[in-house]
């Protein structure tokens, strides 16, 4: 089990705000993308295959969807099924128990597109990089998305076809943001507004911000730090597998993996 800091005690908080990165999904068997190889493997791009060579040459998934759909869609289906079959580890259940105490509000911000937080029953959840389990028009002809159905996608691929937009019949793609203008962001923006409204109400009361599995370079880390520094009622607990030093009287670092560390934390509430 993960060790807790000597002077750590759980602050009495009305609310729990979760900010989670790839490290939260790692204990469910999903890679953190810390190296190129794990990213290629997650997409199902086997060494020596055309898909692997295309990715090694620097073609993005967005470009593959556009110019090589015969490579992109099998990889997408592989990753979709990997995410849908990933286990909801005990860290999610521990967070749920911590957050759902009577009268306690909870909200989640995550860069993960795997859908594990919604599957675990959390709401509201702002998946700021999109949702692998939703599809959109590549144009897009409209901002709406629809559910990705693995069996349907597989049948289409077996018939040498690719998923198309439900409305215009054009090319479809994953509703994942690759930092470009064709991402259908309207639904994501609505979730972001809902999340922001919940957080705005939270921070007027004692709030425990649990940051879990977020890398140093992530914008999620800057968000968590800014919220902690600008609101005296926000207590910042960082869970990370790397050695770090806490700063200030309202911040703590728990070093360890998400599942074990959150289970340890649950026992303190």
Domains and CATH numbers, the chain: 1-29+88-129+186-269 (3.40.50.1220)
Distance CA 4, CA 2 (A): 7
Which residue in 175, 176, 240 sits closest to 20, CA to CA?
Answer: 240
- Computed from CA positions of residues 109, 113, 117, 121, in that sequence, does the dihedral angle turn out positive or negative? positive
216 is catalytic: no
Distance CA 240, CA 252 (A): 11
Summarize the confidence of residues 77-94 as an average pLDDT: 94
- Report pLDDT for 5: 55
- For the chain, percent of residues with pLDDT exceeding 70: 90
Summarize the confidence of residues 109-121 as an average pLDDT: 96
Summarize the confidence of residues 79-101 as an average pLDDT: 92
Report pLDDT digits (tens) over 151-192: 999 999 999 999 999 999 999 999 999 888 899 999 999 999
Distance CA 116, CA 22 (A): 11
Flag whether pLDDT at 1 surpasses 80. Answer: no
Which of 78, 126, 129, 231 is an active site residue?
Answer: 129
Distance CA 53, CA 35 (A): 16
Kindly give, in sequence order, each residue whose CB lies less than 8 Å from that of residue 174, ignoring residues fewer than 6 positions away: 61, 65, 76, 130, 132, 134, 135, 136, 148
């Amino acid at each position: 089990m993960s060790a807790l800091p000597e002077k750590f005690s759980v602050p009495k908080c009305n609310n729990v705000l979760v900010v989670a990165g790839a490290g939260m999904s790692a204990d469910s068997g999903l890679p953190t993308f810390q190296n190129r190889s794990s990213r290629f493997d997650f997409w199902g791009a086997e060494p020596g295959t055309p898909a692997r060579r295309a990715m090694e040459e620097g073609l993005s998934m967005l470009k593959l969807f556009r110019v090589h759909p015969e490579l992109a869609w099998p990889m997408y289906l592989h990753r979709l099924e990997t995410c849908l079959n990933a286990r909801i580890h005990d860290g999610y259940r521990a967070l749920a128990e911590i957050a759902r105490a009577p009268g306690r509000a909870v909200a989640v911000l995550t860069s993960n597109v795997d859908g594990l937080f919604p599957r675990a029953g959390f709401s509201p959840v702002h998946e700021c990089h999109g949702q692998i389990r939703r599809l959109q028009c590549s144009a897009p002809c409209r901002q709406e998305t629809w559910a990705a159905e693995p069996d349907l996608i597989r049948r289409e691929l077996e018939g040498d076809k690719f998923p198309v937009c439900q409305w215009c019949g054009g090319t479809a793609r994953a509703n994942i943001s690759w930092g470009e203008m064709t991402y259908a962001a309207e639904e994501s923006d609505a979730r972001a507004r809902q999340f922001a409204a919940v957080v705005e109400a939270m921070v007027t009361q004692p709030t425990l911000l649990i940051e879990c599995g977020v890398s140093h370079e992530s914008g999620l880390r800057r968000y968590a730090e800014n919220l902690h520094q600008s609101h005296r009622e926000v207590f910042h607990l960082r869970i990370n597998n790397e050695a770090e030093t806490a700063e200030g009287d309202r911040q703590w670092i728990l070093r360890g993996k998400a599942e074990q560390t959150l289970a340890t934390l649950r026992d303190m509430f």
